[in-house]
């Protein structure tokens, strides 16, 4: 036994002399951290854990995935449905991506709320902001590799947005698609960016980010009423580490380890349910109903909800201003750190989180768009809508109008007793609020976002439609007379 | 002479030498990289006329989808379905056709033609276009883009175009 220990000891010393293990370990794992660090500090390590999961699973997905537009989708189909353990591997990569995006925002919010970006850790924040951009780049390019309809149209939409850049817009758009339109070179570019360029950038910046954690130390838990003063902060911090510090390993790291385990277990549990559906293969000639993944759908929702005239400005200026603020505000690097003394910081985080949640919800709901069954057919009216709201049989003319509601696509935008789109007003009780003449006028002339049907429908058809709409009144209410019928 | 000597110490010389090596290396490696990355901007294959059917295949007043291939040059070999594109072709009269791009002018999503109400609908943000391509509602800033169409020897042909962009 003693002999073994001696051999082990000698081996370590031989290696240490050549590799400097002790020195590196002392400087990294054993570097002192303030005793006040707590559960707020676990998110950075969790992002790193999620990134590591992505790195490893990504490498092994590349064992099978074919980054060529003619085979990408079929290789993904093979991974997802036929390859042994392929769906689990892809599931982990899919949920790992969501975890990484979510955790990076939580990590950022936690350090924003505790003012940890203030002196002397401004570079921590700035490298973190670069990491956020690179991560969003990974999220965008990653969903493209599925090479389904969502992927294809996400690139088209991306190019349209890039084209709004002043002066060089067309060039930027065509660089994104690697040509005048999406073509055989587009996917390989996205693949190289996702697999090599962005991960290279992430690894570089993560290395600097972690180096800074060690060089400038973990920030101590902020005490309200103890503002940061750059003149005295560093000396005070050194003193704090000396009197009230502890080595990162093992006393500081255990919370990180516990939370990272929770993250990994969550990703694994979700992965058992599989990844996102692989969708319909990319094909620019078949109907599509494209939407991005959740981490970009909030932006998709914004573009639907803002006034149309502001679109070009929002597309270019909003991200520019947003990232500008992200990069500039750590230079306000003095003063109170604790959120108790910075109510605006709490408000910012809550408003941003709430707005994002609402926009993601809206993004999935899509109330702004016409509702088409299978992307091409307006929905059929419910059987109760084929009678008056009081349950009586419709006249033949009103029934013809009800038929036209679906055929002419009215139900794509208008709700009738729970069936239809939400793009236009609910017509379930339109007879209460519009006269025969008003309805004729609106259908014939359009307006308020509605196409004009004056040249599309025959006068007799307009008459049938209005006769039907006049029957949509509060149950029990009298149906107004029809001067045309 | 003395001043030059003081300025050009061994350290300064070594620094300049390293910068020169790095600079030359970056240029030699960087130029072809820039060439490959920016290449698609000036090496795109020419737009060509594509046959989409006989004139008799289309009824006057109707709008139908036609499919044809982009001209992608050699890349075509592996470009799969991305070599294809579609347009909504409307026969206005005897030999007059309009080919509408499928790309919505708001953000490029593929518009869908509803034959009965004669409108184009965008599935992304709900833009609506009339049968003649003009905007009927929604966030689209301009009418649908159109492609050049011609009739030659009884055949309808559409000219391939870059993805139209609303600038």
- Tell me the average pLDDT across A126-137: 97
Per-residue model confidence (pLDDT) at position B17:
97
Asked if A40 contacts A110 with a C-beta cutoff of 8 angstroms, the reply is yes
| In chain A, where the domains are located | 31-365, 383-469
**Tens place of pLDDT per residue across chain B (167 aa):** 556 667 788 999 999 999 999 999 999 999 999 999 999 998 888 999 999 999 999 999 999 999 999 888 888 889 998 899 999 999 999 899 999 999 999 999 999 998 888 889 898 888 989 999 999 888 899 999 999 999 999 999 999 999 999 87
Closest residue to B79, CB basis, from A184, A283, A311: A184
Mean pLDDT for A16-37 is 93
> Distance between CA B61 and CA B39 in Å, rounded?
42
Q: Which residues of A touch B82 (CB under 8 A)?
A: 69, 152, 182-184, 186-187, 282, 284
Mean of per-residue pLDDT scores for chain A: 92
- pLDDT given at position A200: 98
ipTM above 0.95, yes or no: no
Q: Which residues of B touch A182 (CB under 8 A)?
A: 82, 163
- A184 reaches B (C-beta below 8 A): yes
pLDDT tens for each residue of B29-62:
999 999 999 999 988 889 999 999 999 999 999 9
Please identify among residues 261-300 of chain A the ones whose CB lies closer than 8 Å to any CB of chain B: 281-285, 287-291, 300
The pLDDT score that the predictor gives to residue A456 is 81
B106:A308 CB<8 A = yes
Q: How buried is A422 (Cβ within 10 angstroms: 0-12 exposed, 13-18 middle, 19+ buried)?
A: middle
pLDDT tens for A304-337 read: 889 888 988 898 898 899 999 999 989 988 899 9
Task: State the pLDDT confidence band at A176, using cuts at 50, 70 and 90.
Answer: very high
Q: Which two tokens stand for residue B69?
A: 């291939």
Specify the pLDDT at position B6. Answer: 72
pLDDT of residue A329: 86
| Residue A481 clears pLDDT 80, i.e. is over it | no
pLDDT of residue A321: 94
Question: Residue A84: which of A99, A63, A53 has the closest Cα?
Answer: A63
pLDDT tens digits, A392-417: 899 999 999 999 999 888 998 899 99
- Does A479 score more than 90 pLDDT? no
Does B124 or A59 have the greater pLDDT score? A59
The predicted model gives A365-389 an average pLDDT of: 85
The whole-number pLDDT of residue A484 equals 46
Q: Check residue B5 and give its pLDDT.
A: 62
Average confidence (pLDDT) over A78-93: 96
Residue A482 has pLDDT above 80, yes or no: no
Separation in Å, CA of B118 to nearest CA in chain A: 7
- Is the Cβ pair B80, A71 closer than 8 Å? yes
Alpha-carbon dihedral sign for residues A357, A294, A125, A176: negative
What class is the A383-469 domain? mainly alpha
Which 15-74 residues of chain B touch chain A by CB within 8 A? 37-38, 40-41, 44, 65, 67, 70, 72
Q: What is A31-365's CATH number?
A: 1.20.810.10
Distance CA A85, CA A79 (A): 8
- Model pLDDT, residue A204: 98
pLDDT digits (tens, 9 = 90+) for A196-228: 999 999 999 999 999 999 999 999 999 999 999
CA distance A387 to A250: 73
Question: Tokens 């307009």 correspond to what residue?
Answer: A462
- Supply the DSSP string of B105-151, one letter for each residue: TTT-PBPEEETTTTEEE-TTT--EEETTS-EEESS--SPPPEE-EEE
User: Is there a contact between B50 and B69 (Cβ–Cβ < 8 Å)?
Assistant: yes
The packing angle between helices A343-365 and A294-305, to 10°, is 90
**Residue A376 clears pLDDT 90, i.e. is over it:** no
Across the interface, whether the CB atoms of B123 and A285 are under 8 A apart is answered no
Alpha-carbon span B145 to B133, nearest angstrom: 8
Give the CATH class of B49-159. mainly beta
Terminal-to-terminal C-alpha distance of chain B = 60
CB count within 10 Å of CB A73 equals: 24
HEC string for A262-305: HHHHHHHHHHHCCCCCCCCECCCCCCCCCCCCHHHHHHHHHHHH
Res. A152: pLDDT tops 90: yes
A289 vs B81, B116, B123: nearest CB: B123
Three-state SS string across chain A, please?
CHHHHHHHHHHHHHHHHHHCHHHHHHHCCCCEEECCCCHHHCHHHHHHHHHHHHHHHHHHHCCCCCCCCCCHHHHHHHHHHCCCCHHHHHHHHHHHHHHHHHHHHHHHHHHHHCCCCCCCCHHHHHHHHHHHHHHHHHHHHHHHCCCEHHHHHHHHHHHHHHCCCCCCHHHHHHHHCCCCCCCCCHHHHHHHHHHHHHHHHHHHHHHHHHHHHHHHCCCCCCCCCCCECCCCHHHHHHHHHHHHEEEHHHHHCHHHHHHHHHHHHHHHHHHHCCCCCCCCECCCCCCCCCCCCHHHHHHHHHHHHCCHHHHHHHHHHHHHHHHHHHHHHHHCCCECCCHHHCHHHHHHHHHHHHHHHHHHHHHHHCCCCCCCECCCECCCCCHHHHECCCCCECCHHHHHHHHHHHHCCHHHHCCECCECCCCCCCCCCHHHHCCHHHHHHHHHHCECCECCCCCCCCHHHHHHHHHHHCCCCCCCCCCCCCCCC
């Amino acid at each position: 036994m003693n002999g073994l220990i001696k051999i082990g000891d000698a081996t370590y010393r031989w290696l240490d002399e050549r590799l400097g293990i002790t020195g590196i370990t002392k400087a990294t794992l054993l570097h002192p951290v303030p005793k006040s660090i707590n559960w707020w500090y676990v998110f950075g390590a969790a992002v790193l854990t999620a990134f590591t999961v992505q790195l490893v699973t990504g490498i092994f997905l590349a064992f099978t995935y074919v980054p060529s537009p003619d085979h990408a989708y079929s290789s993904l189909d093979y991974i997802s449905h036929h390859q042994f353990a392929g769906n689990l591997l892809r599931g982990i990569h899919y949920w790992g991506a969501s975890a990484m995006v979510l955790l990076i925002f939580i990590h950022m919010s936690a350090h924003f709320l505790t003012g940890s970006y203030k002196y002397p850790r401004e570079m921590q924040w700035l490298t973190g902001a670069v990491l956020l951009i690179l991560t969003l780049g990974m999220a965008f390019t990653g969903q493209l590799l599925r090479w389904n309809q969502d992927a294809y149209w996400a690139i088209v939409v991306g190019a349209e947005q890039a084209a709004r850049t002043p002066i060089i817009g067309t060039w930027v758009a065509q660089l994104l698609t690697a040509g005048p339109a999406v073509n055989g070179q587009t996917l390989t570019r996205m693949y190289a960016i996702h697999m090599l360029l962005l991960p290279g950038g992430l690894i570089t910046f993560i290395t600097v980010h972690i180096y800074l954690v060690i060089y400038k130390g973990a920030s101590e838990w902020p005490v309200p009423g103890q503002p940061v003063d750059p003149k005295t902060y560093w000396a005070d911090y050194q003193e704090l580490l000396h009197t009230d510090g502890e080595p990162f390993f093992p006393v500081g790291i255990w919370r990180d380890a516990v939370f990272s385990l929770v993250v990994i277990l969550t990703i694994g549990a979700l992965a058992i349910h599989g990844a996102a559906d692989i969708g319909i293969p990319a094909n620019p000639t078949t109907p599509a109903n494209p939407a991005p993944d959740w981490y970009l759908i909030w932006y998709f929702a914004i573009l639907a909800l803002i006034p149309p005239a502001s679109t070009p400005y929002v597309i270019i200026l909003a991200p520019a201003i947003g990232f500008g603020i992200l990069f500039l505000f750590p230079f306000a690097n003095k003063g109170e750190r604790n959120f108790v003394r910075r109510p605006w910081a709490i408000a910012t985080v809550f408003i941003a989180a709430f707005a994002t949640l609402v926009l993601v919800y809206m993004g999935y709901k899509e109330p702004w768009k016409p509702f088409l069954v299978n992307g091409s057919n307006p929905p059929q009216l419910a059987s109760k809508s084929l009678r008056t709201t009081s349950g009586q049989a419709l006249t033949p003319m009103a029934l013809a109008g009800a038929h036209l509601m679906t055929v002419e696509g009215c139900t794509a935008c208008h709700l009738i007793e729970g069936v239809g789109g939400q793009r236009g007003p609910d017509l379930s009780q339109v007879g209460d609020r519009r006269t025969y003449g008003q309805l004729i006028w609106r259908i014939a002339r359009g307006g308020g976002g509605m196409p004009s049907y004056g040249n599309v429908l025959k006068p007799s058809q307009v008459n049938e439609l209005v006769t039907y709409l006049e029957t949509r009144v509060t149950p029990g209410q009298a149906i107004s007379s029809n001067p045309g019928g | 002479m003395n001043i030059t000597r003081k300025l050009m110490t061994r350290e300064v010389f070594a620094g300049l030498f390293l910068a020169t090596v790095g600079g030359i290396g970056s240029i030699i490696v960087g130029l072809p990289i820039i060439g490959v990355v920016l290449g698609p901007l000036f090496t795109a294959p020419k737009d060509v006329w594509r046959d989409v059917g006989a004139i008799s295949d289309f009824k006057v007043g109707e709008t139908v989808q036609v499919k044809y291939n982009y001209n992608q040059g050699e890349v075509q070999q592996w470009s799969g379905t991305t070599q294809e594109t579609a347009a909504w072709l409307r026969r206005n009269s005897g030999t007059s056709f309009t080919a509408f791009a499928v790309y919505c002018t708001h953000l490029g999503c593929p518009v869908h033609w509803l034959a009965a109400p004669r409108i184009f609908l965008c599935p992304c943000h709900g833009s609506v276009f009339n049968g003649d391509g003009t905007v009927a509602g929604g966030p689209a800033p301009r009418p649908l883009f159109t492609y050049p169409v011609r009739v030659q020897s009884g055949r309808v042909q559409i000219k391939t175009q870059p993805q139209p962009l609303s600038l």
